[in-house]
Amino acid sequence: GENVEQHPSTLSVQEGDSAVIKCTYSDSASNYFPWYKQELGKGPQLIIDIRSNVGEKKDQRIAVTLNKTAKHFSLHITETQPEDSAVYFCAASTSPGGYQKVTFGTGTKLQVIP
């Protein structure tokens, strides 16, 4: 099955600096890569996603890049703010047997220091 690795597990940055989280996946059939932000005691919220036919996608301060050949994708947050502090999960998705199965990375706890 799919295996998604995520690094780093924790990340501390100064407010205003950039944060980068990296993930690798194993199944070349994966074609959809969402990123989720999870605040304490809450469910994950989708913040950005990218499909395998696109190499980069940007939404204001958040961007995601995908390298299909190397099977890795990254989340970039620029001009970080304290409210960006949360746990971030990458995920990879395939559609085996006609339904979509999402495999999550292990999570990165981001702390933005004011």
Q: Using CB under 8 A as the criterion, which residues of the chain lie in contact with another protein when the complex forms?
A: 32, 34, 36, 41-46, 49, 51, 89, 93, 99-107, 109
The burial class, CB within 10 Å (0-12 / 13-18 / 19+), for 59 is exposed
Q: Which tokens belong to 30?
A: 């994966």
CB of 48 to another protein, least distance (A): 11
Q: Which is nearer to another protein, 10 or 18 (CB)?
A: 10
Q: Which is nearer to another protein, 32 or 76 (CB)?
A: 32
- Which SS3 state, helix, strand or coil, does residue 73 take? strand
Instruction: Tell me the CA distances in angstroms from 30 to 39, 54, 68, 82, 112, one per residue in order.
Output: 26, 13, 9, 33, 31
CB of 22 to another protein, least distance (A): 16
CB of 2 to another protein, least distance (A): 11
What letter does residue 84 receive in the DSSP assignment?
A: G
Q: Which is nearer to another protein, 97 or 114 (CB)?
A: 97
Q: Which is nearer to another protein, 8 or 16 (CB)?
A: 8
| Total residue length of the chain | 114
